[in-house]
Structure 1
Amino acid sequence: MNISALASMIAPVDLRSCLISQNGRLVFEHYRHPRIPDEKAKVNSCTKSFLSALICIAMDQGILPGAETPIIEFFPQLRSASDPRKREITLEHLLTMSAGFEWSEFGGIKSFPRMTRTGNWVEFVLEQPISETPGTRMEYSSGCSQLLSAILVQAAGKSTARYAEENLFGPLGIEDYRWESDPQGIHTGGYGLWLRPGDLLRFGQLYLQQGRWEQRQLIPRELVNRSVQPSIPAGPPNRGFYGWHWWTDTFGAGLGGHSAAASPLSFDYFYARGYAGQFIYIVPILETVVVLTDDKRKKERHPANVFRDFIAPLLLEDLN
């Protein structure tokens, strides 16, 4: 990978941080200020992918049932819902954001800000009308993530953050973090996690290694693979597909529906994405993890898609 070319290309973007690891070795490291490696910052919706990992761990431990389980098992009030389709919503529908709730995160009915202004976020989500049969279409929803966090609390008998400390953060060496919570004290499933750039890199490396960290299998390989598979087309204006709280896509000549396995000039990747420029990209075929963080307001952010415009073309050269 042409590291010197990359440094000059991303300079105008003024990222907060950019870390690239290949074959388990840090090959590129950029910070806007020397203090940033030790500073926690909001990772926004990258929180969703951490929650996905915790859900997979809980399934493996047997404290959560399989993904096909209806959420009525955790929210019995849905038994009396006027719309019977609410009783069809499963854990997988929440993970793929295809629960069918009438929801628009920020535009339209502004579901997310309305949720955060209520006294009970979980009840707010469960009370939303169903607009489509569950499993039909992805509609981006931090409400689905909050339900998953509440379900994990029920299953584990402890807070989402405490469960993370014991089963994910601790083994990865993540000790300095912050995690916001809703009025009931349930940690926010869709956002609210504060971490350091190096923590994001370790999490990405865990997924590159299919859930294995040092000598421990923290997340079962089969659940890692299932969670990052393209499960449902991403709702517009997003591109690619959505898995279990992970985004998936292809770069290069395989864009016509062919995967990297079908074309030597393309590669598949999956990624966590958070508002305002927080990303963790994993490119399995190239043993690569990329972490990008930013902290500028929308009007001040560079319009480039740093990964697809600058980094991915350089990675593609490694396949030639």
Structure 2
Amino acid sequence: MKQSIYFLLTFTSFILNAQQQYFPQSTASWETISYQEAGLDADKMDDVVAFAKANEYKGSRDLRIAILDGFKKEPFHEILGPTKKRGGPAGMILKNGKIVKAWGDVNRVDMTFSVTKSFLSTVAGIALDKGLIASENDTVANYVWDGTFAGKQNSQITWSQLLQQNSAWQGELYGVKDWADRPPRDGDVDDWQYAQPHKPGTVMEYNDVRVNVLAYSLLQVHRKPLPVVLKENIMDPIGASITWRWKGYDNAWETVDGLQMKSVTGGGHSGAGMFINTTDMARFGLLFINNGNWNGKQLISREFIDRALTPSTPNPNYGYMWWLNNADGSRHWNGVGENVFYAAGFGGNFIIVDREHDLVIVTRWLEPSKVEEFMQLITAAID
């Protein structure tokens, strides 16, 4: 019932805002509006920006160092793909598509870590919209028959379970074993290594190896490098810059139809992933606040977006690689509306979509523990 009310509210908001929605044609001509025009308290919004600048992610700006320190508890963890030194705090806030406020260097290209997962989910949506995948409830083994999904455990796995990160896939990909990726904080990693696997679809486990299995599987379905699929179907139509790059591990080369193609990653905790600037992230969020429609052209179906934002059974705060601010789950921002969903990445990278207030918020290199307070400040500024 709650989910039905949510979709009714967002659809009503979409209809009401359709006439006033703005779509930037280029970064050079992106229109701005004042706090007053956006219905935001100016003094409180100044506090929001000051808060973002004052609470920079504490990790090293040399992201190679930050990654190795952040994941030092993982057995055998190493850098497998490219990294890049980052800039300082940056962000943008959009209202009805127009810029209310921007801070920092919004044109600087930086790693964005697990925000990449929401781009990967979108590539899966493209495959579904094109009929390359008949249903996300199909088992992946019916599409990827090279042994990646062989065996009693892996043959059960569906596309939706990969998208919700509850697949419990077992194996090794590009030299990384699933059991060695993001082990439990407590207990002996050996216990997890030999533990009985969960039934697919029953337990969410944040695990980059399994996310990368999804990327590999989508490469087999699209038969094109996923950055090319994303560029042609999403990034070019929304007017993104030419500066973003989606990278894979150094050894992640596959031969598809006789051509060498790189299989990309869904995150960057061993390097690689999406390298992108703040403005391009904001455009991506603007596409989703408009239910996949960009200036009258439907780039990804509303039906897929609705399913992507449906809470999964094991975790009510997670859909298809988007986080949901659902009060029924443990990852809920108090004092912030439940109609908010977001992409989140290591180091404090966020694309936050508030459909109720028609806000898209991008914040980068914000200390992750401070994002709830950051969003509470924005909520308090709404007039």
Instruction: Pick one of 275, 283, 304 that aligns with 2:346.
Output: 275
Match of 1:7 in 2: 49
> Which is richer in helix?
1
Deviations 1:265-300 (A, max 9, x none): 843311101111111111111111110112xxxxxx
Match of 1:218 in 2: 299
TM-score (norm 1): 0.78
Contact 1:266 1:316 survives alignment (8 Å): no
AA aligned opposite 1:315: T
Task: State how far apart, in whole Å, the 1-side matches of 2:228 and 2:52 are.
Answer: 37
Count matched residues.
Answer: 275
Task: State how far apart, in whole Å, the 1-side matches of 2:89 and 2:108 are.
Answer: 11
Deviations 1:114-165 (A, max 9, x none): xxxxxxxxxxxxxx98611000010011122212211221112211111111
1:189 and 2:266 correspond: yes
Contact 2:164 2:204 survives alignment (8 Å): yes
Match of 1:243 in 2: 319
Match of 2:154 in 1: 86
Q: How many Å apart are 1:3 and its aligned residue?
A: 1.6
Deviations 1:224-283 (A, max 9, x none): 11102211444xxxxx61110111114xxxx467xxxxxx98433111011111111111
Task: State how far apart, in whole Å, the 1-side matches of 2:368 and 2:222 are.
Answer: 42
Identity %: 27
Deviations 1:165-213 (A, max 9, x none): 1111111222211221232221223341100100000001110000011
Task: State how far apart, in whole Å, the 1-side matches of 2:245 and 2:196 are.
Answer: 33
Match of 2:167 in 1: 99
AA aligned opposite 2:49: A
Segments of 5+ residues of structure 2 without an aligned counterpart are: 1-39, 57-87, 171-178, 186-193, 254-261, 330-334
Instruction: Pick one of 109, 130, 136 that aligns with 1:61.
Output: 130
Contact 2:52 2:89 survives alignment (8 Å): no
Q: What is the SS of the residue equivalent to 2:136? A: coil
Match of 2:362 in 1: 291
Task: State how far apart, in whole Å, the 2-side matches of 1:141 and 1:227 are.
Answer: 19
Segments of 5+ residues of structure 1 without an aligned counterpart are: 110-127, 235-239, 258-263, 295-300
Match of 2:91 in 1: 18
AA aligned opposite 2:282: L
Q: How many Å apart are 1:48 and its aligned residue?
A: 0.5
Match of 1:50 in 2: 119
TM-score (norm 2): 0.66
Q: What is the SS of the residue equivalent to 1:75? A: coil
1:314 and 2:378 correspond: yes
AA aligned opposite 1:16: P
The alpha-carbon distance between structure 1 residues 77 and 162, as it changes in their structure 2 partners (threshold 3 A), is closer
Task: State how far apart, in whole Å, the 2-side matches of 1:220 and 1:130 are.
Answer: 38
Task: State how far apart, in whole Å, the 2-side matches of 1:180 and 1:170 are.
Answer: 18
Contact 2:342 2:351 survives alignment (8 Å): yes
AA aligned opposite 1:91: W
The alignment yields a C-alpha RMSD, in angstroms, of: 2.7
Deviations 1:69-119 (A, max 9, x none): 10112332559945x13211000010001112464633349xxxxxxxxxx
